[in-house]
Amino acid sequence: MSGKIRISELKKFDIANYLDSDEAIAEYLTEVLAENDGEAFSHALGKVARARGMSEVAATAGLGRESLYKALREGSEPKFDTVRRVCEALGLKLAIVVDDAA
């Protein structure tokens, strides 16, 4: 046996497994938001919701679990109100700051 690891033996990486603190979540979403890609941000928000418990987040946001999955899946374009409600349910606040580089 050569000790090599086969790609098929590797576990699939899931960022949700590493979003275990408010700070990690805030840093992750801030980095994704900096990419200026709304689709990527909504997908990342879905990863955070899954890390926190999709059913609980959906209930707190006043949405159905299946509706939340649909709204935050890859390729979706959720309404701003949905994003705002999910952020609020996660204990996150959206803020506008001055871009010093502009």
Judge whether 1 lies within some domain.
no
60 lies in a domain? yes
41 part of a folded domain: yes
Residue 59, domain extent: 21-89
Tokens 């999910």 locate to: 86
Question: Is pLDDT of 21 > 70?
Answer: yes
Instruction: Please list, in sequence order, all residues whose beta carbon lies within 8 angstroms of the beta carbon of residue 44, skipping any fewer than 6 positions away.
Output: 15, 28, 29, 32
| d(C-alpha 83, C-alpha 77), whole Å | 10
For the residues 27-41, what does the mean pLDDT come to?
93
What is residue 49's predicted lDDT score, i.e. its pLDDT?
A: 96
The mean per-residue pLDDT over the stretch 6-16 comes to 87
Tally of domains within the chain: 1
For residue 30, the model assigns a pLDDT of 94
Say if pTM beats, i.e. exceeds, 0.85.
Answer: no
Q: Is residue 98 part of a domain?
A: no
Reported as a single tens digit per residue, the pLDDT across 44-82 is 999 999 999 999 999 999 999 999 999 999 888 999 999
The answer to whether residue 56 is domain-embedded is yes
